[in-house]
Amino acid sequence: MRDLTTIDQRVVAIRNDPQAVDTFISEYTPFVISCARKVSGKYWLDEQQDEYSTALYAFLCAIQAYDAQKGKFLTFAKNVIRTQLIDEHRKNQKHSNRNIPIENSKEQENYFICSASLEQFYREDDAEYRRWEIRQFKQELALWGITLDELLTVSPKHFFTRTLCCRAVDFVYKRPDLSNQVLKKRTFPFAEIEKSLKIPKKKLERFRKYLIAMLILKAGDYEYLKAYVSEWR
């Protein structure tokens, strides 16, 4: 059974609660808009535009259809939003009198997808998504009583120590039984790490908050933040 992140668990828990779903959608509206902008190629989207309502509806469908054992929710939601917007674009093109210099429907689809992909490289859009990731990461850390400022102070300063921590996190991440232990019991399996990796427990215990933060980052949908953690590359 796949280990669930906090977001995944929340989606599974709220899907039959309309009020909770509305709250969740409100919180993740910036995420939805960012996905819609990347696919549509539009720099600005607001509530009056069709892409906005289509993306929001797709996000709702993603909540209802999400299967927790097949992957992370935000990755699934991105794909649902993308598919829905592309389908909507196809329908609109069929009823449009505009002549697009594309020879066939397959090339037309490729043209649309490639044009939309270019938008994700705009600095403004990347910055917005990074800000969203940071907000989400801070919320997940808060559940463990960890702040970003504190994380900076408790992070290992030496390369060798960071390498040991990364080995430990990677070991836990690849073991569902251990990652579930961290999630449910709020304890880090130092004893199991020492037994399996031969890393002394004393070397890791002082970096508990750092280890938890890196596990959250590794397990979550943090495309941009992960890029700053070179050990995961």
CB 164 within 8 A of CB 223: no
Residues with Cβ within 8 Å of residue 55, at least 6 apart in sequence: 32, 33, 35, 36, 81, 84, 85
Q: Which of 86, 119, 152 is the last residue of a domain?
A: 119
Same-domain pairing of 17 and 103? yes
Number of domains within the chain:
2
Is residue 42 in a domain? yes
Residues 186 and 104 in one domain: no
- DSSP structure class, residue 198: -
Q: Does a structural domain hold residue 130?
A: no
What confidence score (pLDDT) does residue 21 get? 92
Is 1 contained in some domain? no
**Measured distance CA(103)–CA(2) in Å, rounded:** 44
The answer to whether position 105 is within a domain reads: yes
Q: Residue 113: exposed, middle, or buried by beta-carbon count in 10 A (0-12, 13-18, 19+)?
A: middle
Same domain assignment for residues 115 and 160: no
pLDDT at 189: 92
In a domain, 128, yes or no: no
Q: Are residues 40 and 111 in the same domain?
A: yes
Q: What is the pLDDT of residue 59?
A: 92
Please give the pLDDT value at position 75: 86
Domain membership flag for residue 134:
no
**How much is the pLDDT for 9?**
85
Q: Which two tokens stand for residue 135?
A: 């907000």
Question: Are 30 and 94 found together in one domain?
Answer: yes
Counting as low any pLDDT under 70, the low residues of the chain are: 1-5, 41-48, 92-129, 227-233
Pair (89, 149) in one structural domain: no
> Based on the domain organization, do 11 and 112 belong to the same domain?
yes
In a domain, 60, yes or no: yes
End-to-end C-alpha distance for the chain, whole angstroms: 26
The range of the structural domain enclosing residue 148 comes to 141-232
Please report the pLDDT score of residue 47 as a whole number.
64
pLDDT digits (tens, 9 = 90+) for 73-106: 888 888 888 888 887 777 766 555 444 444 445 4
CA angle 163, 169, 171 (to 5 degrees): 100
82 Cβ contact partners less than 8 Å away, ≥ 6 residues apart: 35, 39
Backbone angles phi, psi at 168, to 5 degrees: -65, -45
Mean pLDDT across the chain: 78
